[in-house]
Amino acid sequence: MKRLFLVIFLILSAASLALYWTQPDRISPVPVLYWVTQNDPVKRETIRLFKIWLEDNGLPPVEVKIDNANQDPTKKLAQGLAGVGADLFDIYNTQQELFASSGMLMDVTDQARELGFSSDETYPALREDIMFDGRQYGFPRNAAGAATWINTETFARYGIPEPNYRWTWDKFEEIGRKFVTAANPPGTRERKYFMQVVSLVSLRRGLGLSTFNETMTKCILDDPRNAEVMRRYYRWVVELRLVPTLAEQQAMSANSAMAGDGIFYLFAQGRYAMLQLPRWALIRLRVQGDLPLRVVEPMNSGYSNTEFSCGMVSVYTGSKHPVEAVRFLQFLASEPFNLLIARSGDSLPPVPKYVHTEEFLHPANHPNEWAAQEVFTRVAPEIGIATARSPFVISGVVYRTDTQIAQSVIAGQLTPEEAGREHAALLNAEIARSIRSNDKLRTRYEDLLKVQQKIDERRAQGLPVPLAWISNPFHQTYYKAMGWLEEPQS
């Protein structure tokens, strides 16, 4: 038996050594970068164009390998902190603060200024998405602002009028009730829904409400306006069934003929009349054929807005090839890459000027999209607002809590009024926990509390507020729209 174990040990050891010495970076004559990202045609084309761009600019060649197996945030974080992370990471909206504060992302502020991929090169609303404590930790590979996709054929089938480009949530309910009544006569076996999901953040903002106050020192969702949002949400999902529950949505997608593209297949088949998604939906919609598409703004309750964020690529601090990895970020600001994003439909190009190119506005072989493309040049840049990131609560916790509270309302476990109080209590407890264990953070919090007091005093007196006092991106935008900002002195 011992002999058998020895033989197995020797075989496994030999296999491990063979694997180690045959890794691409061991046998490749050029540096190899590992990129933790989704393995799809756009990413593969990105790598091909990166190599051409290096050659065109007289730069040394680099090989890039996709790591599709370690996209889970926990895996990325564990490997990075253990010193064995990939060279490049895709970092998403809810992960930015966690990864940047962990020390595993390279501060590229100085290189970005020198090489032309600083925060000034992307949309102003997205600058905070790639910054942390005033330093830059990556560059967007795309920019995403949700809009409402309409399958015009589905509306025509039931004789339902389509919504206007700008519409209210009262209109949403009015048209939605007509649709589900016409599309689901008695005896209907497979229910059809008006829309697959609604954004609670966008609905709150439409009423002038954000998750946090102006200085992001307090969650303010115990506000009566949030109760109105949750009341509508419950009505649309449970009472009127305009929107499916999370469980219904998952079951529909799993049981569809194209499970991987579930909601898009269901949209093409008319099971959803509308989708609320960013432009990247085109990648999945093109698979469904030349659908008759129209795009309008997300419905609002007074103030037009949409959530605007980005997918960022960052460099691992422990990369063996930091110079080459930074060059990859530089490439993301280049014309070849931005035109690829424009052609592919993978949301908006990270550099704003490329939304006005022919590749974006009139993609070859897709004339059915041309009207929709023009709308995307306006929706996110004009009404897109970045995520409100409190320095005292990780965004992932905010997102998770929002989902948890919403599901509790749908399940009847919380009333709309209770939901706001519970939500505020949970996030304010997180704030208290953060500042209790971090002296530097507590000092910053106390300083911002003084600023918040001055804002509250000015608002109570009907006086304008200096923009510099406001750190919440929603309030910055909303105050400007309402004429509540103090005019800067010349």
The domains found in the chain, sorted by start residue, are 22-143+309-369 (3.40.190.10), 147-208+222-308 (3.40.190.10), 395-482 (no CATH)
Beta strands 139-145 and 306-315: pairing type? antiparallel
3-state helix, strand, coil in the chain (%, to 5): 55, 15, 35
CB-based contact 140:122 (threshold 8 Å): yes
| Tens digit of each residue's pLDDT, the chain (490 residues) | 445 444 454 344 334 333 433 455 556 688 999 999 999 999 999 999 999 999 999 999 999 999 988 778 778 778 877 888 899 999 987 788 788 888 899 999 999 999 999 999 999 989 888 998 889 999 999 999 999 999 999 999 999 999 999 999 999 999 999 999 999 999 888 899 999 999 999 999 999 999 999 999 999 999 999 999 999 999 999 999 999 999 998 888 776 555 557 899 999 999 999 999 999 999 999 999 999 999 999 999 889 999 999 989 999 999 999 999 999 999 999 999 999 999 999 999 999 999 999 999 999 889 999 999 999 999 988 999 999 999 999 888 999 999 999 999 999 999 999 999 999 999 999 999 999 989 999 999 999 999 999 999 999 999 999 999 999 999 999 999 999 999 875 5
The pLDDT value given to residue 490: 52
**Separation CA 351–CA 408 (nearest Å):** 40
The pLDDT value given to residue 260: 56
Q: pTM value?
A: 0.88
CA torsion 107→109→114→120, rounded to 10°? 140
CB-based contact 483:462 (threshold 8 Å): no
The pLDDT value given to residue 10: 39
**Separation CA 237–CA 37 (nearest Å):** 34
Taking residue 27's Cβ as centre, other Cβ atoms within 10 Å add up to 9
Beta strands 272-277 and 131-132: pairing type? unpaired
CB-based contact 205:223 (threshold 8 Å): no
Using CA atoms, how far residue 249 sits from 18, 27, 47, 193, 244, in Å, is 46, 47, 35, 10, 6
Question: What is the helix (H) or strand (E) element at residue 149, kind and residue range?
Answer: strand 147-151
Tokens of 362: 């009139």
CB-based contact 177:242 (threshold 8 Å): yes
CB-based contact 34:325 (threshold 8 Å): no
**Separation CA 36–CA 328 (nearest Å):** 13
CA torsion 249→251→252→258, rounded to 10°? 120
Q: Which letter does DSSP use for residue 239 in this model?
A: I
